[in-house]
Chains A and B, each alone.
Chain A
Amino acid sequence: MLERLGLLPPQASTVALQTDMLYAFLVAISVFFAVLIAVAVIAFSVMYRRRSENDVTPYIHGSTALEIAWSVIPLGVAMVMFGWGAHLFVTLKRPPDDALQVNVVGKQWMWKIQHLEGRREINELHVPLGRPVKLTLTSEDVIHSFYVPAFRIKQDAVPGRYTTAWFEATRIGSYHLFCAEYCGTMHSGMIGKVIVMDPADYQAWLTSGAAVPVAAGAAADGAGPNLAAAGKDLFEQKGCLTCHQPGSVLGPQLAGIVGHSVELQDGTTVTVDDDYLRESILTPAAKLVKGFAPVMPTFKGQLTEEQVMQLIAYIKSLGPSAGTAGAAAGTGKTGS
């Protein structure tokens, strides 16, 4: 009903309802305290308005009991707000394991989106109903922020690092996708749509469209090889195989490495995740794996953010054992 009155945006994800319930709670508490203070101020103002120029007022200098009461009670209420908000936040930060993976790159002034299965789009994001979708975001230039009010989610896309967000759409339709972080002249024009489809329609959409070679970096909308396959092509083109092929001693083995921790030159360890892989591709010397010489050249400036994401998708697709490198490419599944 509030939605129809124009007081709520459409409620189209699993967290939308939870956010709105928290909103209702916060509004209720606020109205209670605001009304309490307003009634007291107005009542006192009327009851104790100045009657003569020589009014005498009683000497009431304070009350420790009252001070403690009106410190401790609001503190208790605030901690309830904190707890509820923290619970929702942790939910928002933990994507389910079976989430569909979608990569998003922000750029002045558009959203470039790559589905793992190969379809790419600009300023539109097609997703199936009832399936969790995990977004990995970054930016090619300045900070942008991916915001879908109907889903009650927002996440900054920061250049130089990956951030993530997830949602599960609960209602078929088309919803605003805004950029919420000021990013320059066309900031308010950086608007897209999230289109929630019936899963069958989504599957059909995913495999339709003109075939465009993704690895070429073309920014067109259309289907192409899936992301891991595109990454495999890049992997071969850029000569990564020379050092990273099975059996090579020049570079670390990549198969099954994602999610594991590796020991570095300085004795510390790091968990291999998207951020570490990205850093190792662009700044190989930053965190060198123990036992390897710093011989890898940087690929900074030679790869777009989308291509880095394709390479990472490929590395993730490599099976757990070293012997299967390459063979597992093209399954479109993220190894975990």
Chain B
Amino acid sequence: MTSTNYINADYGIWSWLLTKDHKRIAILYLVSITAMFLLGGLFALMIRLELLTPAGDLVSADTYNKLFTMHGIVMVFFFLIPSIPAVLGNFLIPMMIGARDLAFPRLNLASWYLFVVGALFALYAIFTGGVDTGWTFYTPYSTAAAHTNVIPAALGIFINGFSSILTGLNFIVTIHRMRAPGLTWFRLPLFVWAHYATSIIFILGTPVIAITILLVAVERAFHFGIFDPTLGGDPVLFQHLFWFYSHPAVYIMILPSMGIVSELITCFSRKVIFGYGFVAVSSMAIAVLGFLVWGHHLFLSGQSVYASLIFSVLSFLVAIPSAVKVFNWTATLYRGSIEFAAPMIYALGFIGLFTIGGLTGLFLATLGFDVHVHDTYFVVAHFHYIMVGGAIMGYLGGIHYWWPKISGRMYPEWPARIGAATIFVGFNLTFFPQFLAGYLGMPRRYHMYPPEFQVLNVMSTAGATILGVGYLLPLTYLLWSLRYGKVAPDNPWRATGLEWQTPSPPPTENFATTPVVTEGAYAYSDMHEAEFI
């Protein structure tokens, strides 16, 4: 490996911190996001240990409240939302469309710095006393009652929001303007489609949360009376504004993951994806419909019955494009040539977890039913199935699949398969019992709980331990592989896609000559054997 690539093109810390190469920026994100994931995971483990017994005996009530809040803030804003777009999207989108870089390389670097500054504010809030509002910052608790570092945490999220907005903007312009000759919209890889849809949410949704969270800080500091009823404000207005972004934010987490799974299923089945157009368009449908369902978080807030009915119907509609994708992936397997490499195990695991998460989402959209399980562990289980089961399975599957391209080394196959299986088992053991605890009536965010919920909580904590080991496995062997892994060929999976037509790791300019595209993505199947079902 003597050729020049993006890793060895330049040396020294400043060559990284001042880089304009989208691939190096992706690596900067990978390192910082992984650190945030470990921090959020540590909080999660402490929460689960506390809940091993019904009495609040490990940490105090205040500490517990801060732990779950910081777990939420770190995981949602500093891991799940940026993870796939900022790491894999950044690394792959220019290569997948045959471009040399993103449209605005300096803006891309600025996005990373905004992420870091935002994260530093959040870390400051955490390590100088913590925050206890819950990641949802519901008012008037956050503006009038919380006695913790709400303002620095809010500013951290506000600043980090600009990172998301600029990344989304950069992706949209890049995808519009910089596609290689011949790469029409309906020849784009589904990963790119998914990121296009995600970027729309970034641009339209993030300003709303940024303003909302800033208003919380302003109200807390200067008592403006926007959300606090004692000052004439409306606490439910906050919930509308908050969920207008935060519900679409779930699709920010899951759409890129769906994009990855589409790539993995078709590559490891070595078969053209079933219903390309439907899978592509369903991403856009999810992005658009995702903006119309926020009110299903407010069924119990006192909002009008008519509003609740409308939000309920719309919530069911957004489930349909998601279902379409699951059916298409399944149909892609039919008569394929399926190899169970680690990324494929992650992709199949994704289908399982996402199916359970999606179906239980229908439970919550069902009006009368939601009344009982709203704000219980049923909801906790549901959104972890989507956001952790769905988003992280896709993320890890993608990291493994593109690891040879990113690092120039192969990951070790058997530890990776064991890791994927461990995560799948640990995940289900952690979160499935929470559906049952929720229906039994265990409210979320409880430091102590009545003893009848203990058995399910012990199962959940046992699962979390397995899950924790499962996450440490890839961290360990991927680092190991950087030095000891087999040197990766340019295209180890015999995959289609422009990113595989360049060396591993790629040179700084990605391609020696601009590629010309003559056919659609996923030309895995034998066109001479055209068959229709």
- Chain A residues in contact with chain B, CB under 8 A? 6-9, 15, 18-19, 22-23, 26, 29-30, 33-34, 37-38, 40-41, 44-45, 48-51, 55-63, 66-67, 70-71, 74-75, 78-79, 81-82, 84-93, 108, 141-143, 145, 147, 149-150, 152-156, 158-161, 163, 176, 178-189, 191, 283
- Most B-side CB within 10 Å, residue of A38, A108, A147: A147
Which residues does chain A contribute within 8 Å of B207, judged by CB atoms? none
**Chain B count of residues within 8 A CB distance of the other chain:** 100
* Stretch among B97-105, B113-121, B365-373 lining the A interface: B365-373
Q: Tell me whether A87 and B368 are in contact (CB under 8 A).
A: yes
Q: Tell me whether B359 and A33 are in contact (CB under 8 A).
A: yes
Considering only residues 121-165 of chain B, those with a C-beta below 8 Å from chain A are 132-134, 138, 140-141, 144-146
Which residues does chain B contribute within 8 Å of A188, judged by CB atoms? 56, 61, 443, 445-449
Which residue of A has the minimal Cβ distance to B298? A156
Which residues does chain A contribute within 8 Å of B300, judged by CB atoms? 145, 154-156
Which residues does chain A contribute within 8 Å of B232, judged by CB atoms? 283
Q: Tell me whether A34 and B447 are in contact (CB under 8 A).
A: no
Q: Tell me whether A152 and B372 are in contact (CB under 8 A).
A: yes
Which residues does chain B contribute within 8 Å of A179, judged by CB atoms? 443
Instruction: Name the distance in Å between A26's Cβ and chain B's nearest Cβ.
Output: 5
Q: Tell me whether B324 and A71 are in contact (CB under 8 A).
A: yes
Task: Pull 7 A–B residue pairs with CB atoms less than 8 Å apart, ordered by A.
Answer: A58-B271, A59-B526, A67-B328, A81-B316, A184-B65, A187-B446, A189-B448
Which residues does chain A contribute within 8 Å of B312, judged by CB atoms? 82, 85-86, 89
Q: Give Cα A89–Cα B235 distance, bound, in whole angstroms.
A: 23
Instruction: Name the distance in Å between A241's Cβ and chain B's nearest Cβ.
Output: 28
Which residues does chain B contribute within 8 Å of A149, judged by CB atoms? 372, 440-441
B475 within 8 A of A: no
Q: Tell me whether B302 and A37 are in contact (CB under 8 A).
A: no
Which residues does chain B contribute within 8 Å of A150, judged by CB atoms? 441
B221 within 8 A of A: no
Q: Tell me whether B324 and A67 are in contact (CB under 8 A).
A: yes
Give the residue of B274, B308, B330 whose beta carbon is less than 8 angstroms from that of A60.
B274
Instruction: Name the distance in Å between B298's Cβ and chain A's nearest Cβ.
Output: 9
Give the residue of B62, B234, B527 whose beta carbon is less than 8 angstroms from that of A160.
B234
Q: Give Cα A152–Cα B372 distance, bound, in whole angstroms.
A: 5
Give the residue of A66, A74, A283 whose beta carbon is less than 8 angstroms from that of B320.
A74
Q: Tell me whether B145 and A184 are in contact (CB under 8 A).
A: yes
Give the residue of B271, B316, B368 whose beta carbon is less than 8 angstroms from that of A88.
B368
Instruction: Name the distance in Å between A134's Cβ and chain B's nearest Cβ.
Output: 15
Q: Tell me whether B441 and A66 are in contact (CB under 8 A).
A: no
Instruction: Name the distance in Å between B282's Cβ and chain A's nearest Cβ.
Output: 9
* Stretch among B38-46, B171-179, B335-343 lining the A interface: B335-343
Q: Tell me whether A163 and B302 are in contact (CB under 8 A).
A: yes
B107 within 8 A of A: no
